[in-house]
Copies of this chain bind each other. A is one copy, B any other.
Amino acid sequence: MSTPAVTTRPIAFSGYHQPKDRPVEELTAQVGPGTPCGEYMRRFWHPFLLSEQLSHRPKVVRVLGEDLVLYRDLSGDLGLVHKHCAHRGASLEFGIIAEHGIRCCYHGWLFANDGTILETPGEPPASPIKERFCQGAYPVIEHEGVIFTYMGPPHLKPAFPMMDAMLMPNNRMKPYLIHSPCNWQQVSENSMDPFHVAFLHTRVSGPQFSEVFAELPIIDYHETELGFFYTNARRVGEFIWIRMHDHLLPNFSQNGAIFENVSKVRYFGRPGLTRWVTPVDDHNTYVIAWRHFNDRDDPLHQGRPENNGVGKTDFYGQSGDDPYEVRQDSPGDWDAWCSLGKVTSHEREHLGTTDRGVAFLRRRIKRAIEDLQRGIEPVKPDPVPGLGIATAGGDTILRIPKGEGDDRELILKTSQAVAAAYVKTQHLPDEERRQAITDMLAPLNTADPGQINPDHGKIFEFKTVA
């Protein structure tokens, strides 16, 4: 018998007996047209380009496995159409941009931004050809330097996913876009996995963000109609530090501040970034996000807006630009998720209790895909005009020194109290919500909430991007 007996038992030097294939979870990995997950993804708006990437010439882009051409017509409107002209197939990247719409270079047909045909020169004036077909087109929204599209059924188009964090007062948003040569799930799931921070970013190769992260967090997941938020709590000296993370289905996330010193009490700090993970195709993914810069959440101005843009952001490990050896010595998020392979194999994983968040996320997405296959449309974010969609991402820090009892129990309960305060206040505008949360949480402090911890203001050495 030449076929090796496959086993996963822990035998020394058992490479021979380990399974060698890495089967792909196709249901959730495939995003092309007509695939179950591709259909599901086509129920949401996705960012796919930064405004700065678009010149006055047409630009080929790829989103959800479709080749498209984006352009800004002479009137200033954006058009996003299928790459190949519906007439003979020439690429509209060579199209000539018109006052309204784009004209194919080959035979001069003119398409409106919505894909309908405006002119078919050379055809008889009475020709009904314009009525018989059109160019595939998708609606586009440009917001604060980021371009979004919705590629699903026109009649099901949801509202633009305006998040409350995108409406913060006195906040500067700077977008970035970074490519990862792997499946979207690997990138997206990373944000539901708070435990990797303790290892990848801190213990394993020295602190990339903050030594505080070396402490294993106490995590509590909360499901919502739109996805999840979770509390990520740690003791830092006399403080309990609660980071709130959002993950809205399928591919949206926010976390806490990028640079957080945990040196004094904070209430309802807001996210350091507002992020989408957009599938380019099954094997390529963009992280497209706004970094937020404001005095409230980055009082020391440690963030660097100018280091955000195409291919770069201002915190460690988000791209493959560093030399391979540097990334080997101190691997970042990008290295971790890309190194899973083009598409990772769920079947070959061995999940532990620390992988709970990833498991939750997968289950929800799988259920949503299967629901859609049965005709049940997914719930979509429905932003309140002027307020946006309420999210939780950001940090709350309370001054609650260790007590007599089990400290982990104390941390967990505190984080649950914080979560409850967030949920109760989610109908309020930013400042009011902050005040309400403060009012609810301030009594939990067991010492002067304004006091600064002199020990914790200096211990952090960040690897910022120079």
Contacts and interface: CB of A to CB of B under 8 A. Distances in A.
A314 to B, nearest CB: 22
A91 interface: yes
Contact of A96 (B16, B40, B205, B335): B205
B154 A12 contact: yes
Contacts of A39: 2-4
B89 A349 contact: yes
Most chain B CB within 10 A, of A8, A33, A39, A81, is at A33
A133 B350 contact: yes
A199 interface: yes
Contact of A122 (B9, B116, B216, B328): B216
B4 A153 contact: yes
A132 interface: yes
Given A123-B353, A131-B10, A132-B8, A329 B57 contact: yes
Contact of A88 (B20, B331, B349): B349
A115 B339 contact: no
A325 interface: yes
A55 to B, nearest CB: 8
B90 A11 contact: no
A435 interface: no
A450 interface: no
B107 A199 contact: yes
A204 B90 CA distance: 14
Interface stretch (A163-171, A298-306, A340-348, A388-396): A340-348
A134 interface: yes
A88 B154 contact: no
Interface string A1-42: 111100011111111111010100000000011101001101
B94 A340 contact: no
A398 interface: no
B336 A90 contact: yes
Contacts of A103: 204
Given A11-B134, A14-B134, A120-B352, 10 more contacts: A9-B134, A10-B132, A16-B42, A16-B151, A86-B348, A88-B351, A89-B348, A106-B199, A107-B354, A122-B352
